[in-house]
Amino acid sequence: MLFITDNEFERVVSRARNRIISKEYYKKECVIYVSITKDHRNFYHISGKVMVNGNVYLPRVLVNEDSKIVSTDCNCIYADEYTACGHIGALILKVQELSPNTFPFKYAVDLKKRAMEEKRNAEKQRLLWEQQIMEARRKEREKESVDLTDYIKSQLVNQFTPMDTTPVHLKAFADGWHFSMNFKIGRNRLYIIKNIPQFMTYMTNNEYHSYGKALDFVHDPELLDENSLKLYQFIQKYYHTHLSNSTNILINNANIDALWDLVNTIPHSMHPFQFEDGNFRPVVEVTKDEHDTIFELKSDLYLYYAGKNDLYTYDHSDHLITRFPFDKQWSYYIVLIVYSVFMFLMNN
């Protein structure tokens, strides 16, 4: 009885890459012909045809009466003395699937029938693809129609809504976990701005939007009071690249200077931050070994935000921003460090 085990397959197709290729050829039904005969020794002579990308390969396998593979060969260049090729492996896997018990045995694929089936399947795929394209275009047109309807509706509402010229106020709030800001807007009652990019679209296009019972208006930067306008201009400049999410603007090296200028020019009631100037005193340790003099900065600079001209720190507990101006003070410390290094070298 011919029964080639998985262990025998792995022994003959010993290279892992060839086993992967064998299974790929087998799954793709590349084995198109199998012939098995028995000789007087009860050895099984297995020959096959494997079609890959239009090329036909001719693997052969000799199996003894105990279903042990005695030898293999193929007309390809991928089989060697150490491992069988993927074509031989695919043939073995196909024989395992067919499990023949009478000999001689033959198996052949009707290539014309397969070609017709492949053609029908390709046509089905083409039709399915066209349907998907048509559906996507329909949804796109539907969305454009809805957007246009919403825009026209908004313009009509804007046109016929009485213009309330009462100033609108903005206020900034601090995130408890990150150095970031979110914002509220309103007149007598403030509403959180849940989507900053959408808010900016409303402002840019002068669109009507309702935040709640106490606030609905046609957006216009001219409705903002003087200090709220400064806050709005900060949002306008940094929301594109500094959003940590749709509701928060993240503070980092690129906008820390602008934030410092902002909180120093608008009333404290409009933001949560405390601010002060500090004295930065860098600590440099100088050591020397037999070859070199080593300078090591001991100050933890990763705690600082680096603006264009100044360094800053932020304390989340009380929302304190401390600025360390890079001016004559820094020059003094640089001179002091250089002098200290010079004295160290002179004394050592």
pLDDT at residue number 333: 53
pLDDT at residue number 309: 80
pLDDT at residue number 332: 47
pLDDT at position 282 over 80:
no
Confidence of residue 139 (pLDDT cuts 50, 70, 90): very high
Count H helices, E strands: the chain? 8, 19
Q: What is the pLDDT of residues 81-131, one digit of tens each?
A: 889 999 999 999 999 999 999 999 999 999 999 889 989 999 999 999 999
Tokens standing for 15?
A: 């290279």
* Cβ proximity of 321 and 263 under 8 Å: yes
pLDDT at position 147 over 50:
yes
* Cβ proximity of 36 and 100 under 8 Å: yes
pLDDT at residue number 302: 64
The mean pLDDT value for 275-284 works out to: 79
Name the residue with higher pLDDT: 50 or 339: 50
pLDDT at residue number 243: 82
The mean pLDDT value for 124-145 works out to: 93
Determine what percent of the chain falls in helix, strand and coil, rounding each to the nearest 5: 40, 25, 30
Average model confidence (pLDDT) across the chain = 88
Question: Cα–Cα distance between 208 and 232 in angstroms, integer?
Answer: 18
Question: What's the pTM?
Answer: 0.50
Question: Cα–Cα distance between 258 and 7 in angstroms, integer?
Answer: 70
Cβ neighbours, 10 Å, residue 264: 11
Confidence of residue 340 (pLDDT cuts 50, 70, 90): low
The CA-atom distances, in angstroms, between 39 and each of 1, 63, 248, 250 are 13, 11, 81, 81
> Checking DSSP bridges between strand 180-186 and strand 169-174, what pairing results, if any?
antiparallel
Which are the contacts of 190, defined by CB distance < 8 A and separation ≥ 6? 169, 171, 184
The mean pLDDT value for 212-237 works out to: 94
Which are the contacts of 19, defined by CB distance < 8 A and separation ≥ 6? 9, 10, 13, 89
Would you list the domain boundaries of the chain?
A: 6-109, 113-160, 169-272, 277-347
Confidence of residue 347 (pLDDT cuts 50, 70, 90): low
* Cβ proximity of 310 and 250 under 8 Å: no
The mean pLDDT value for 234-240 works out to: 94
> Checking DSSP bridges between strand 60-63 and strand 105-108, what pairing results, if any?
unpaired
